[in-house]
């Protein structure tokens, strides 16, 4: 017998016709559950107690999880917040079918969760790979998106890779040589390559990780998805996303957009500013003293930037 949990039972009760829209009840809940989607089950958590526009969190990767976005649940004092792990990683079911390692699959998965929760219009917060997912969801379902928050945007991957290779040049010469050697060999597990990767992450991905969440993230990551869609590293992109470039579509996004980016972010504040300049209603907030994972490196500044933007939206 399937267990729906408290959230599932309330939604069943609402959808059975007991009076009020599902979203109004969902906004009063704090619970985690699982949802069957194409290919398996995803884990999600709902928090929130107030009437602001619901916020759905889309983690990076692809193939990682939402542990590092936990601090954003503090926004639940003003609105419903939905945090979930995309299929294949985190607390969600595993996935190995490469035909599902696609943008279209993850867009459909997100829409399944939105519909399951009865949320008609939402704000999407995407981080890194999640910014691609957020933009592509808007392209497919614009009527359901009120605004976008794009953290450390990865919306032009050829430009991302060029910038990451530039950052690589700041590493010690021995590490640069190790990267070039191991890439030529295709030996990405070599200790010297992994050491260079670790140094890159420590400078440009996270400065002050939450160790417990970092451990959980790495223990539940699906590196098959990451390798297939991204490639062996942040600075070597060989996967199916390697030519992804959203620039031609950005001028067509007609909802308000907030970009956040770390001061030392591999996403590159200058590149993010270029994305914002292409859009009719976009702004950029640079999070000081932070690299890519702004929610770890400077959680208060990150939260305040998002809270201020969402407050303006609610006031409209």
Catalytic residues: 128, 265, 292
Q: How far apart are CA 81 and CA 200, in angstroms?
A: 32
Q: Round to whole Å and give the CA distance between 266 and 163.
A: 7
Cα→Cα distances 144→47, 251, 297, Å: 20, 19, 31
d(CA 228, CA 101): 8
- Can you tell me the distance from the alpha carbon of 80 to that of 139, in angstroms, rounded to the nearest whole number? 23
Query: Which residues are CB-neighbours of 61 under 8 A, at least 6 positions away?
Result: 86, 89, 128, 129, 130, 221, 222, 225, 226, 230
Q: Are 42 and 117 in contact (CB under 8 A)?
A: no
Among the listed residues 291, 293, 272, the one whose alpha carbon sits nearest the alpha carbon of residue 282: 272
């Amino acid at each position: 017998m399937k267990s729906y949990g408290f959230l599932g039972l309330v939604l069943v009760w609402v959808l059975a016709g007991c009076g009020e829209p599902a979203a109004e009840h969902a906004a009063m809940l704090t619970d985690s559950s699982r949802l069957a989607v194409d290919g398996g089950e995803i884990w999600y958590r709902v928090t929130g107690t107030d009437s602001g526009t619901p916020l759905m969190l889309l983690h990076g990767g692809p193939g990682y999880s939402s542990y590092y976005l936990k601090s954003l649940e503090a926004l639940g004092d003003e609105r419903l917040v939905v945090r979930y792990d995309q299929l294949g990683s985190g607390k969600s079911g595993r996935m190995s079918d490469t035909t599902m390692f696609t943008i279209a699959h993850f867009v459909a998965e997100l829409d399944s969760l939105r519909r399951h929760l009865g949320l008609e219009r939402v704000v999407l917060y995407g981080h890194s790979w999640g910014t691609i997912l957020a933009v592509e969801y808007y392209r497919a379902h614009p009527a359901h998106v009120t605004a976008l928050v794009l953290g450390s945007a990865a919306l032009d991957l050829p430009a991302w890779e060029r910038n990451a290779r530039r950052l690589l040049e700041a590493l010690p010469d021995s590490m640069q040589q190790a990267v070039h050697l191991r890439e030529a060999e295709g030996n990405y597990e070599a200790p010297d390559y992994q050491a260079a990767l670790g140094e890159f992450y420590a400078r440009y991905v996270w400065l002050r990780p939450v160790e417990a969440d970092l451990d959980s993230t790495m223990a539940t990551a699906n590196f098959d998805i990451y390798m297939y869609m991204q490639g062996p590293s942040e600075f070597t992109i060989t996967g199916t996303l390697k030519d992804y470039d959203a620039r031609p579509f950005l001028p067509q996004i007609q909802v308000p957009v907030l970009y956040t980016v770390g001061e030392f972010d591999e996403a590159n504040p200058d590149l993010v500013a270029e994305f914002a300049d292409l859009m009719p209603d976009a702004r950029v907030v640079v999070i000081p003293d932070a690299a890519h994972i702004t929610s770890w490196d400077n959680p208060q500044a990150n939260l305040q930037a998002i809270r201020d933007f969402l407050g303006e939206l609610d006031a409209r």
